[in-house]
Structure 1
Amino acid sequence: MKLNQTFLRSALATAAAFACATSAQAATFRGFDGTSLLDNVTLGNAFRPPDTMGAVGTTQFLESTNGSYTVYDKLSGAVQQRISFGQFWTNAGQGGAPNGDQRILFDHHTNRWISIGFSDSVSDINIAVSDTSNAMGPWKSTKFTGFAGGTADYPTLGMDKNGVYIGTGNFKTEADCPPGFGYCGASLFVIPKSDLFGGAPTTANMSKFDSLYPAVLDRGFAIQGAVNWDKTNNSNTGKFLGVNVDTFKDYNFYKVNGVNAAGATQTASVSVGVAAYDYTKPARQPDGTRVVDTLDERISSNVVESNGKLYAVHTVTPTGTDHTAVRWSVLNANTGAVIEEGDISGGGFDYFQGSIAVNEYGQAVIGFNRSGFQQTDLNNDGLSDGNITFMARAFETDGGGGLDQSGADMLLKASSIGDYHCSTRTVPVDCRQRWGDYSAVSLDPTNHRSFYAIGEYSKEWAVLPGFTTTERATWNTYIAEISMPVPEPETYALMLAGLALVGIASRRHRKV
């Protein structure tokens, strides 16, 4: 079809005017402190990294860390309940001594919570579902064996209207798996949604898909099932994304059909080529050390499906640079083809531990950490600019489905120290301090223009109760509500007319 060029130019101008109008209405935020290492020590737990995780519900925010579950009033930040993770799983019916790696989602389809994590054995995965929208319970639970005799590591959690998706990375001893590695492959577990939310949770109809290493490499590492809150989408197909195990340089994309019953089937995997990058490196700090472990290239946070597209972020070192960046990718949710990619990077900083959420209006928020050698204080907050900082960036989707930054980066919370190390201030050369491992951005189910981000920062060193001789860096978490603007009705109508034409042609390009 040949478009009238005058009309097309008018449509383009309308879309550009909308972009200017919305960017002029900057996103705003407010926040409150979450759980800290000191909070968990009082509950008998002193774990690092925290595996920072949380989600927002109708009236509450629920946070889990390696050691506790905490319920907050989502508006005031007031703590309504903080219990050890052992107590949480005992209350839910599992008992024992859980081993962490928890994930949380609030299901917009049923207005109920779901959480997963290690059981008392790292071979097994617990699943808990709340009876109501109240995160303080009651909860019901079940568990299943993820990787018998080994570790079903780094369990992931995704869901949509019909299915719940859990991925694991499977490890045993070097004798059991490739020598020197101990990685045995990945598994994906697909559970009909009604089996978990319809009464007593059960995995009787669960479908399991194994991707053995080194024989099979095409399903990815840290498999993420897409989170999709579209209530009009009746598709019985889940979408999945992982980072290629062999190269760590591409995505693997595939689907699972028939997720709402036993016998779900997996499609072939598509290798999705992305812009080149190198393996991640430790992040810098103002004290001159480079020991903060930025994890690796895995997708550590939820993949989101919205308006026919998949959105994902992970940490990379762009080729030709020596600084880590948070890379975001937009893919076609049907084919896996890359529509657009971009990096949150620059300024001589390292960027890491990203997470994303996207609403149906084409607005997105990415939360992330930033740090560097910088000892300047350009923002006049009394802290070095290079201190590890929890930040967020807002975006609007453009006509091709890509992301355009909206407003300036938001500094949500800065660490008050510039030397987050292992367990001593005398830093060995090989000392690398694990950071975060998880973070999350979630949509408020009562207002999808409200995004809640949770991430990690650090405070002054402290002698923890029970540790009389060793000082340890203390991690803390922070929760921020980021409110995106609502365009004027007239502007929104014009935007729809303009972008309908602009969006005829999809494109693939890079943004920095």
Structure 2
Amino acid sequence: MILAVALLPGTAAATSAAAATPAHAAAAAAAPAKKHQSSDSGPAVYHDLSPTLAAMAAASGPAHGDRVAPDEDTPLPHPTRAAADPVVQTAPGTKAAVPLANNWDAIGPNTGYSDTGVPPDPNAAVGTTQVMELVNTAYAVYSKTGSTIIGATNTSSFWSGFGGFCQSANDGDATVAFDRLANRWVVQQFANVTSSSGPYYECVAVSTSADATGTYNRYSYQFTNFPDYPKLAVWPQAYFTTYNMFTPAGAFVDAEICAMNRSAMLTGAAASQQCFTTSSTYGGILAGDVDGTAAPPAGEDETVVGLGATATTLATWKFHVDWTTPANSAFTGPAALTVASYTTACGTSGTCIPQSGTTQQLDSLSDRIMYRLAYRNFGDHEALVTDDAVTAGSGVGVRWYELRMTSGSTPTVYQQGTYAPDSTYRWMGSIAMDKAGSIALGYSQSSSSVHPSIRFTGRAAGDTLGSMTQAETTIITGAGSQTSYSRWGDYTSMSVDPTDDCTFFYTDEYEPATGNFNWQTRIASFQLPNCTATADYSISASPASGSVTSGTSATTTVSTAATGGDTESVTFSASGLPSGATAAFSPTSVTAGGSSTLTIATAASTPAGTYPITVTGTGTAHTHTTTYSLTVTPPATNDFSISVSPATGSVTQGSAATVSVSTAVASGTAQTVTFSATGVPAGATATFSPASATAGSGSTLTIATSAGTAIGNFTVNVVGTYPGGSPTHSASYTLAVTAPSTGGIVNGGFETGDLSGWTTAGSASVVNSGAHSGTYAARIGATTPTNGDSSAAQTFTAPSGSGTLSFWYNVFCPDTVTYDWATATLKDNTANTTSTVLAKTCVNPSSGWKQITAPVTAGHSYTLTLTSHDDNYSGDPTYTLYDDATLSAAASNPIVNGGFETGSLSGWTATGAASAAVNSGAHSGTYAARLGSTSPTNGDSSIAQTFTAAGGGTLSFWYNVTCPDTVTYDWATATLKDNTANTTATVLAQTCAASS
């Protein structure tokens, strides 16, 4: 991690990647215990699917460089001193130095990157065809031979378009892993770490393929405390990340480990995390990170390791994660694992590494084990390797461990050693194993006569335990030393090529010239002698399952992949077929790496069921199998579905409504559907064109009314019937028949297909989809950005008997009401008054059609203006659909004294504390009813009235609750009882608001 120098050491924002509590606490209890689950557990704050990384990198441009970390970091809790180291290797290995396959300068000034801070935090991972390197705030993608695919780019560009701090805060401490079990890349970086109060964020990106430049499923997780020094690990049940946790004020809290739902993240689904903490005794823990093609045994818990409570122990934990029942998840430990005694490097300060040509010493970061805790399953045992920096004589060496376990048992020490073959200081190591069990150890090297350089050593699986038998190989000798700042590396990484499981890739830093901000990273690849690529292949089927009806066929692609050595010819066969089925491959054989199409044909007599079919590949030297699951179902009965659009419509007496009738095949084969209609009102006729159609096509229903057709709402059932009268399905269409207008609004439903009768401004048109009823609606505004108001207006005279104006609107507003909106006004030209009948509104996404009503006075002239406003901002056009502007007679109010303007509660039955003499704060008029009192009362206060409602009416009332308590104790509520149907509805749920 790198942070701004303007912050003071000791503050949360200034805490370094190594920062932690200043003192070592007491040893943990001997008996392992379930640790506390952290409040950081929970769902991701947000997740999405990114554009391609290549596109985001191109838009981001070159990286901006790093910021400077505080020079002094407070050590994590760790033992500092013990007896002399009994496992020091004081001479180099006698085997020949290993040659380098590839060796190139990665991110740094030699490749155009401007260093502006320390340390660089170099780490890398290797995939099937690419290498990705990350430094503190930048990443780059290379081929395996060092060709640049994406140059140094800000790491935050992984979250371009994601929003929030993941996108805007390029805060560093990023790491990358390659999930060999799924062939996916995983990248993490924390965000908002300079905040003095939080919250803090962990940003995670999981690729959707093995191509590092492709798209990523992106997530962010929120933390209350500062999650420093995050380190990724891949495990089948989860992606694990370990942290050192600090309060916002900078005090060390504990180590924390979080399990993120790997299976969900691989598919881009919502993914939660489960987090647990250690005691404050421990920091710098790491989780096992899977290498190789062999996954851990099914269901095995994750192993976690850190420095122990004494200088003769490591501490181990087990993390059991249960995504189905999170309460069953557990983090148990620590168990003390006895190791050879050691003294951590550089005493309590951690800084003592000398350099040539300067008095500036470098930080050893000896208070933790170093990234990664590499895991490998060898079948007969499982192995974990890790390392840390320890005192070796008068200098510093790398203590390394190989731990072993079986089926997830507690790890034991198989071998250990301290590599310090001469007086040169070695530290900042990273270690891994290849498929043969050979170990490679990379590190930084420096002394008073040697500039910081990069080297590695190694050993074969059968060599003398505890020793690195390969002579040192120099990746690059530094040409300068770092001045002014002690911070170096923070971590490096050794990884293994997943394609051959033999080639190691190591990245570290060196100085091409003496200076304070001019570190250069380097990537090198090599193989240890005992690892060779054995000829073999794998086989798989995609899809791995399929379903057919008896008498039809299923196909799947059978793929092979060469996993090492020379390719061999593979011939395919299938067994386990159900009765009457046959299998055919095209081609019947391929060279490993090729694929074939398997076709399984069933007979009409093939019985229903699910059959595991074994697909066998027989090669020159190897035979492998995969399973394809075939489900056979009996032939489906012929069936269909029917629907209508629109589902409602309105016509005046003497006119016609049209409805689109659609059908679809639900099962079996398409048959002829014959249409009919029931529930058509008297005096109206229903015709279909065509009268019948093949399922999957449709018809148009026309309902023609006459002058004598009854007025009202009618439910018309549109019926479809297959030959023979079965099956039969129907869909409902609601038809409203109204009397012809004798005046008032012209073309209020826009069913002329144009805006005749209306005066328009801006962008206004008629659309034939999404109407409230009928075929057409007016669209005010456009689907592309417009500037200012668009409107449609009409001046009309309210005819005799009319008392209510109504219209429907549907607003599409991806912005906010500050900038874009729908609104409508009604001007009474006779009285010269204007009212806003639709206040400015903006909804995203659309909440559907809403009705607006307003009173009108018969004989008055009115102007109705329907408006949509857009601020012409690119990407968020706003428009509004309007429909069915009509005038209707005003209904009389059956409720007596509903406005309480008698100044009393006449017409109402009151209980408790109820008063109508409140002549201030009324919604309208002079008076309002007050239920309850301004002084405390006990129990319910209420008023009630029984009335008979007119048909088609709507009940409305206004309330204003003043409730300084909570809804547990005090509330307002209202019920409406239908005495005819003997049902009661709660129309106002219990509510309490401290501020009315």
TM-score, structure 2 normalization: 0.40
Match of 1:224 in 2: 286
Q: Does 1:265 align with 2:339?
A: no
Match of 2:137 in 1: 67
CA contact (8 A) 1:225 1:238 kept: yes
Q: Could you say which structure has the larger radius of gyration? A: 2
Match of 1:409 in 2: 472
SS in 2 for 1:256: strand
CA contact (8 A) 1:85 1:98 kept: yes
* Letter aligned with residue 46 of structure 1: T
Return closer, same or farther for 1:191/1:287 CA change in 2, 3 Å cut-off: same
Match of 2:839 in 1: none
Match of 1:144 in 2: 221
Q: Which runs of 5+ in 1 are unaligned?
A: 1-21, 177-181, 375-385, 423-431, 462-470, 491-512
State how many pairs are aligned. 418
Match of 2:491 in 1: 438
Structure 1 residues 322-348: Cα deviation after superposition (integer angstroms, max 9, x where no partner)? 311111011223222222210111321
Give the C-alpha shift of residue 373 in structure 1.
1.6
Q: Does 1:480 align with 2:524?
A: yes
Match of 1:398 in 2: 462
Match of 2:204 in 1: 127
Structure 1 residues 11-52: Cα deviation after superposition (integer angstroms, max 9, x where no partner)? xxxxxxxxxxx957955442111101576865xx72310111
Match of 2:122 in 1: 52
Give the C-alpha shift of residue 304 in structure 1.
1.3
Structure 1 residues 204-232: Cα deviation after superposition (integer angstroms, max 9, x where no partner)? 2x22112242xxx3xx3111110123434
Give 2:102's match in structure 1, choosing from 26, 30, 36.
30
Alignment of 1:72-471 (within 5 A): 72-90=142-160, 94-121=166-193, 123-146=200-223, 148=224, 150-172=225-247, 182-200=251-269, 202-204=270-272, 206-213=273-280, 217=281, 220-229=282-291, 230-236=293-299, 237-244=301-308, 246-247=309-310, 250-258=313-321, 262=326, 263-281=328-346, 282-287=352-357, 289=359, 291-306=361-376, 307=378, 308-318=382-392, 321-333=393-405, 334-374=409-449, 386-398=450-462, 402=465, 404-417=467-480, 419-422=481-484, 432-461=485-514
SS in 1 for 2:345: coil
Match of 1:19 in 2: none
Return closer, same or farther for 1:315/1:37 CA change in 2, 3 Å cut-off: farther
SS in 2 for 1:436: coil
Match of 1:427 in 2: none
In 2, Cα distance between the equivalents of 1:136 and 1:434? 31
Structure 1 residues 388-436: Cα deviation after superposition (integer angstroms, max 9, x where no partner)? 1101112112389x4553431110011111x3112xxxxxxxxx51000
Give the C-alpha shift of residue 190 in structure 1.
1.4
CA contact (8 A) 1:51 1:101 kept: yes
Structure 1 residues 460-507: Cα deviation after superposition (integer angstroms, max 9, x where no partner)? 24xxxxxxxxx63410100001122356899xxxxxxxxxxxxxxxxx
Give the C-alpha shift of residue 173 in structure 1.
5.9
Give the C-alpha shift of residue 299 in structure 1.
1.4
* Letter aligned with residue 366 of structure 1: L
Return closer, same or farther for 1:48/1:191 CA change in 2, 3 Å cut-off: same
SS in 2 for 1:296: coil
In 2, Cα distance between the equivalents of 1:25 and 1:371? 19
SS in 1 for 2:209: coil
Return closer, same or farther for 1:234/1:278 CA change in 2, 3 Å cut-off: closer
CA contact (8 A) 2:360 2:486 kept: no
Structure 1 residues 263-305: Cα deviation after superposition (integer angstroms, max 9, x where no partner)? 4222332112222222322211122625111122311211012
* Letter aligned with residue 159 of structure 2: W
* Letter aligned with residue 482 of structure 2: Y
In 2, Cα distance between the equivalents of 1:395 and 1:91? 47
SS in 1 for 2:508: strand
Give the C-alpha shift of residue 363 in structure 1.
1.4
Which stretch shifts more, 449-458 or 154-163? 154-163
Which stretch shifts more, 260-269 or 156-165? 260-269
In 1, Cα distance between the equivalents of 2:99 and 2:479? 25
Structure showing greater relative contact order (alpha-carbon pairs closer than 8 Å, 6 or more residues apart): 1
Match of 1:507 in 2: none
In 1, Cα distance between the equivalents of 2:365 and 2:322? 31
In 1, Cα distance between the equivalents of 2:520 and 2:507? 11
Give the C-alpha shift of residue 72 in structure 1.
0.7
SS in 2 for 1:46: coil
SS in 1 for 2:156: helix
Return closer, same or farther for 1:349/1:257 CA change in 2, 3 Å cut-off: same
Give the C-alpha shift of residue 65 in structure 1.
0.8
Match of 2:10 in 1: none
CA contact (8 A) 1:280 1:294 kept: yes
SS in 1 for 2:157: helix
* Letter aligned with residue 425 of structure 2: D
In 2, Cα distance between the equivalents of 1:342 and 1:454? 22
CA contact (8 A) 1:193 1:260 kept: no
Give the C-alpha shift of residue 79 in structure 1.
4.2
SS in 2 for 1:222: coil
CA contact (8 A) 1:144 1:203 kept: no
Identity, % of aligned positions: 22
Q: Which runs of 5+ in 2 are unaligned?
A: 1-93, 195-199, 347-351, 535-996
* Letter aligned with residue 58 of structure 1: T
Give the C-alpha shift of residue 191 in structure 1.
2.2
In 2, Cα distance between the equivalents of 1:248 and 1:140? 42
CA contact (8 A) 1:254 1:268 kept: yes
* Letter aligned with residue 289 of structure 2: V
* Letter aligned with residue 209 of structure 1: F
TM-score, structure 1 normalization: 0.75
Return closer, same or farther for 1:24/1:477 CA change in 2, 3 Å cut-off: closer
* Letter aligned with residue 476 of structure 2: K
Give the C-alpha shift of residue 256 in structure 1.
1.5
Return closer, same or farther for 1:25/1:48 CA change in 2, 3 Å cut-off: closer
In 2, Cα distance between the equivalents of 1:274 and 1:191? 31
* Letter aligned with residue 264 of structure 1: S
SS in 2 for 1:452: strand
Return closer, same or farther for 1:488/1:323 CA change in 2, 3 Å cut-off: closer
SS in 2 for 1:194: helix
SS in 2 for 1:277: coil
CA contact (8 A) 2:438 2:530 kept: no
Return closer, same or farther for 1:37/1:152 CA change in 2, 3 Å cut-off: farther
CA contact (8 A) 1:128 1:139 kept: yes
SS in 1 for 2:160: helix
